[in-house]
Structure formats: structure tokens, C-alpha cells
Amino acid sequence: MKSSGTYMVTVENEYQCKSTDSIAIVVKARPEATLALSGPTRFYEGETVELQAGLADKYQWSTGDTTQSINVTASGSFVVTVSNANACSATSQTVVVSVFPLPLKPEISQSNDTLIAVPTNAGGAYNWYLNSQKIITTAKPRLKLNETGMYYVVVADSNGCSVTSEEFYSVYTSLTDGSSKITVYPNPAVEYVQISTTDIDKLPLSLNVFDANGKNVFGTFTISESLFEINVGQLSAGVYMFQISSNNELIKIERVTIER
């Protein structure tokens, strides 16, 4: 029976004796297993989507939950079975949720006249910025320097998610580290950093130390001997650029990490 009503049946035997009976049938509505989503079903770690079923008396999710709605934070397939007071039930369509890992935050390092973003992100795009202005988008995690300034990189993965590095102050020089015979050590350092040179003809040298914001934290040191020691015990933990010049010509850039 598909509709409510009173249904009657009459039977008759071979002697034409008849018997009649009736029954009242009530067809009650089946619950609707609808799902409402609070947002997209493809997102990144740390985000969530709420799945909410329509009104019913009871709920049974594929996760084991029995509430009207659930919050999903991990990949998976989700359905809900709803039932009413008449024990009629219905099951929703399957909702597939995909949660992607966030790309790792890049860190910029410098090798001679090239900036390098690590870790690399296969299939991603590297959007490089200089002094808050976008300068280029590359498929490789390297940028050839041609200007001094504050750099950072925004890395976008193949799913469209992006993450931004810390700013990195870099000084451009046409000379490479190989053109000088200067060593800066230890690196990382805690209390002292030593600068040694085997190229006596370059003396005296000038040393400037810059923090991540491009601030000269000491002023200018004059290095007149082949071995020079600087006390860095008062510096905060972080990365500093040691820039060494001879006769007003920049000949060495060393990125030194200070630990605490």
C-alpha cells in the first residue's frame, strides 16, 4: 500500500456465502536524510567542515556519532542514517572529505649571490618579494640576487595552499665568497664569533653585523689582525648577517646563527 486509507476485502465460497473484513492502514512519511555542509569538503590541516543532517528523531553517523551534526577534521567518507518515531529510516548520500597537509614553512638561506628556500616543495610555485613588492614567480626554490634589501618568499603548493617565510635581509655583491680567504666561525655561535683571514694584503677589514630587520647591531669594527674575535653574548637568538669589506668593497657575507 502506498497511501493511507481503509481497505476492505470480501471472500465468497462455493455456496455463495460471503465474509467481509476491513483494515485501516496509515502510511507515514519516511524521514529525509539530507545533509547541509558549512563549507568546502577539500581543505587543509587545521580547518574543519560541519556536516548537519535534517530534522529527525534519531541520528546514526558512520563515525559512530549520534548527534544531528558532526565536525570533520580528517579525510574520509561520511554518511548518516536518520530515523523517526515510527522507526522509519533513511540514509544520506556519501560525503567525501579530503584534508591536505599544509606545506612546510620555507626558510631562506643565502649562498653567494643566490637565495635558496628550503625545504623545497615539488610542483609548487615560489613567489619572491623584495621590500614587500613581488618581483618574480619561479618554479625553482632559488633567486639570483641583484639588489640589497628585505626578501621573503610565498610558496604555493599544487593544491593552491600557500605559506610565507620569515623576512630575510640580504646584501647584494658582485663578488663571491670564493674571492676572499676569510673564515667566520663557529656557526652556530653562543658567546663569541671569530673572523680569520689568510689574505693579509686585504687588511684592515671592516665588519658590520645586521639582524633580520637590517639593523646594524654593533656599528663598524675595524679588523687589523689576521684573527679577530667579537663578543655576541648580548645578542638575542636569531640569524645575523656578517658583512666584511676591504677598502670599501664588500668581499664576504656570512649568515651566522646565534643560539641561546
The predicted-structure confidence for 137-177, as pLDDT tens digits, reads as follows 988 898 988 888 899 999 988 777 888 999 988 877 655 44
- The closest of 112, 111, 109, 113 to 152, measured between CA atoms, is 109
Amino acid at 251: I
CA distances from 111 to 27, 108, 173, 188 (A): 78, 10, 12, 16
Amino acid at 225: E
Please answer whether residues 177 and 148 qualify as being in contact, where contact means their C-beta atoms are separated by less than 8 angstroms.
Answer: no
Handedness of CA 220, 222, 226, 232 (dihedral sign): negative
pLDDT one-digit tens code per residue, 170-205: 877 655 444 458 889 998 999 999 999 888 888 899
pLDDT one-digit tens code per residue, 65-121: 999 999 999 999 999 999 988 888 999 999 999 998 887 888 888 877 788 898 877
Please answer whether residues 164 and 153 qualify as being in contact, where contact means their C-beta atoms are separated by less than 8 angstroms.
Answer: yes
Amino acid at 196: S
Please answer whether residues 224 and 206 qualify as being in contact, where contact means their C-beta atoms are separated by less than 8 angstroms.
Answer: no
> E strands of 204-248, at which residues?
205-210, 216-223, 227-231, 238-246
pLDDT one-digit tens code per residue, 25-80: 776 677 888 999 999 998 888 899 999 999 999 999 999 999 999 999 999 999 99
Report H helices in 14-153: none
Determine the distance from the C-alpha atom of residue 75 to the mean position of all C-alpha atoms in its chain, rounded to a whole number. Answer: 17
- Residue 8's pLDDT is 86
Please answer whether residues 258 and 184 qualify as being in contact, where contact means their C-beta atoms are separated by less than 8 angstroms.
Answer: no
Distance CA 243, CA 255 (A): 9
pTM (2 d.p.) = 0.51
Please answer whether residues 9 and 126 qualify as being in contact, where contact means their C-beta atoms are separated by less than 8 angstroms.
Answer: no
Domains of the chain: 35-100 (2.60.40.10), 107-170 (2.60.40.10), 178-258 (2.60.40.3080)
When pLDDT is averaged across residues 195-220 and rounded to a whole number, the result is 89
